[in-house]
Protein backbone atom coordinates (compact mmCIF):
# COMPACT_ATOMS: atom_id res chain seq x y z
CA UNK A 1 0.00 0.00 0.00
CA UNK A 2 1.90 2.97 -1.20
CA UNK A 3 -0.73 5.72 -1.11
CA UNK A 4 -1.71 6.02 2.57
CA UNK A 5 -4.38 8.63 3.06
CA UNK A 6 -6.04 9.96 6.19
CA UNK A 7 -9.09 7.84 5.33
CA UNK A 8 -6.96 4.67 5.27
CA UNK A 9 -5.42 5.59 8.60
CA UNK A 10 -8.95 5.95 10.01
CA UNK A 11 -9.78 2.48 8.65
CA UNK A 12 -6.68 1.00 10.30
CA UNK A 13 -7.66 2.66 13.58
CA UNK A 14 -11.17 1.22 13.25
CA UNK A 15 -9.70 -2.22 12.59
CA UNK A 16 -7.67 -1.97 15.80
CA UNK A 17 -10.67 -0.65 17.76
CA UNK A 18 -12.85 -3.49 16.45
CA UNK A 19 -10.24 -6.05 17.48
CA UNK A 20 -9.92 -4.49 20.95
CA UNK A 21 -13.70 -4.48 21.36
CA UNK A 22 -13.86 -8.14 20.30
CA UNK A 23 -11.29 -9.25 22.91
CA UNK A 24 -12.42 -6.80 25.61
CA UNK A 25 -14.62 -9.35 27.45
CA UNK A 26 -11.49 -11.40 28.16
CA UNK A 27 -9.17 -8.46 28.79
CA UNK A 28 -11.52 -6.57 31.12
CA UNK A 29 -13.40 -9.56 32.56
CA UNK A 30 -16.94 -8.78 31.42
CA UNK A 31 -19.63 -11.06 32.79
CA UNK A 32 -21.02 -13.53 30.26
CA UNK A 33 -24.20 -12.13 28.77
CA UNK A 34 -25.34 -9.17 26.76
CA UNK A 35 -22.23 -7.03 27.25
CA UNK A 36 -19.89 -9.81 26.12
CA UNK A 37 -22.08 -10.81 23.20
CA UNK A 38 -22.47 -7.21 22.08
CA UNK A 39 -18.72 -6.57 22.32
CA UNK A 40 -17.95 -9.66 20.25
CA UNK A 41 -20.53 -8.99 17.55
CA UNK A 42 -19.89 -5.25 17.28
CA UNK A 43 -16.13 -5.84 17.29
CA UNK A 44 -16.38 -8.30 14.41
CA UNK A 45 -18.64 -5.96 12.41
CA UNK A 46 -16.37 -2.94 12.97
CA UNK A 47 -13.25 -4.91 12.03
CA UNK A 48 -14.91 -6.46 8.95
CA UNK A 49 -16.11 -3.06 7.73
CA UNK A 50 -12.61 -1.64 8.23
CA UNK A 51 -11.05 -4.50 6.27
CA UNK A 52 -13.60 -4.00 3.52
CA UNK A 53 -12.89 -0.27 3.41
CA UNK A 54 -9.15 -0.90 3.22
CA UNK A 55 -9.63 -3.40 0.38
CA UNK A 56 -12.06 -1.33 -1.69
CA UNK A 57 -13.40 1.95 -0.32
CA UNK A 58 -17.14 2.52 -0.45
CA UNK A 59 -19.01 5.34 1.28
CA UNK A 60 -21.72 2.97 2.53
CA UNK A 61 -19.11 1.17 4.65
CA UNK A 62 -18.41 4.40 6.50
CA UNK A 63 -22.11 4.99 7.08
CA UNK A 64 -22.40 1.47 8.51
CA UNK A 65 -19.34 2.07 10.70
CA UNK A 66 -20.96 5.27 11.96
CA UNK A 67 -24.15 3.36 12.80
CA UNK A 68 -22.29 0.50 14.51
CA UNK A 69 -20.14 3.00 16.42
CA UNK A 70 -23.23 4.86 17.63
CA UNK A 71 -24.92 1.56 18.53
CA UNK A 72 -21.84 0.54 20.53
CA UNK A 73 -21.92 3.91 22.28
CA UNK A 74 -25.57 3.65 23.39
CA UNK A 75 -25.80 -0.12 23.83
CA UNK A 76 -25.03 -0.12 27.59
CA UNK A 77 -28.27 1.78 28.22
CA UNK A 78 -30.30 -0.15 25.65
CA UNK A 79 -29.07 -3.58 26.81
CA UNK A 80 -28.87 -2.69 30.52
CA UNK A 81 -25.23 -2.97 31.49
CA UNK A 82 -24.59 0.63 32.53
CA UNK A 83 -22.29 1.25 35.48
CA UNK A 84 -19.85 -1.53 34.56
CA UNK A 85 -16.39 -1.83 33.00
CA UNK A 86 -18.19 -3.09 29.90
CA UNK A 87 -20.07 0.21 29.69
CA UNK A 88 -16.85 2.23 29.80
CA UNK A 89 -15.25 0.14 27.07
CA UNK A 90 -18.35 0.29 24.85
CA UNK A 91 -18.77 4.06 25.25
CA UNK A 92 -15.10 4.88 24.58
CA UNK A 93 -14.71 2.54 21.60
CA UNK A 94 -18.16 3.38 20.19
CA UNK A 95 -17.44 7.11 20.37
CA UNK A 96 -14.03 6.63 18.74
CA UNK A 97 -15.43 4.48 15.90
CA UNK A 98 -18.30 6.91 15.27
CA UNK A 99 -15.90 9.87 15.30
CA UNK A 100 -13.50 8.18 12.88
CA UNK A 101 -16.37 7.26 10.54
CA UNK A 102 -17.65 10.83 10.65
CA UNK A 103 -14.15 12.13 9.87
CA UNK A 104 -13.87 9.74 6.92
CA UNK A 105 -17.27 10.79 5.62
CA UNK A 106 -16.21 14.42 5.91
CA UNK A 107 -12.89 13.73 4.16
CA UNK A 108 -14.55 11.91 1.28
CA UNK A 109 -17.22 14.57 0.87
CA UNK A 110 -14.54 17.25 0.52
CA UNK A 111 -11.98 15.15 -1.37
CA UNK A 112 -13.77 12.36 -3.26
CA UNK A 113 -11.55 9.38 -4.14
CA UNK A 114 -10.26 9.36 -7.72
CA UNK A 115 -11.49 6.66 -10.01
CA UNK A 116 -8.33 6.64 -12.11
CA UNK A 117 -5.07 5.03 -11.10
CA UNK A 118 -1.57 6.39 -11.45
CA UNK A 119 1.25 4.21 -12.70
In a domain, 115, yes or no: no
75/109 Cα distance (integer angstroms): 29
In a domain, 116, yes or no: no
**Strand, helix or coil at 113?**
coil
Q: What is the pLDDT of residues 18-49, one digit of tens each?
A: 999 999 999 998 887 899 999 999 999 999 99
**Containing structural domain, residue 57:** 6-110
In a domain, 42, yes or no: yes
* Sign, Cα dihedral of 5, 9, 14, 19: positive
In a domain, 30, yes or no: yes
Mean model confidence pLDDT for the chain: 85
Nearest CA to 97 among 9, 6, 5, 10?
Answer: 10
Number of domains in the chain: 1
In a domain, 105, yes or no: yes
33/12 Cα distance (integer angstroms): 29
89/31 Cα distance (integer angstroms): 13
Is the pLDDT assigned to residue 78 strictly greater than 90? yes
Say which DSSP state 114 is in: P
108/116 Cα distance (integer angstroms): 16
Amino acid sequence: MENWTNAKLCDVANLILGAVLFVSPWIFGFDAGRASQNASIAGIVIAALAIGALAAFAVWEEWLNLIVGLWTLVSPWVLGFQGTNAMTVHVVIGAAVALLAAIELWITSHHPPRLTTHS
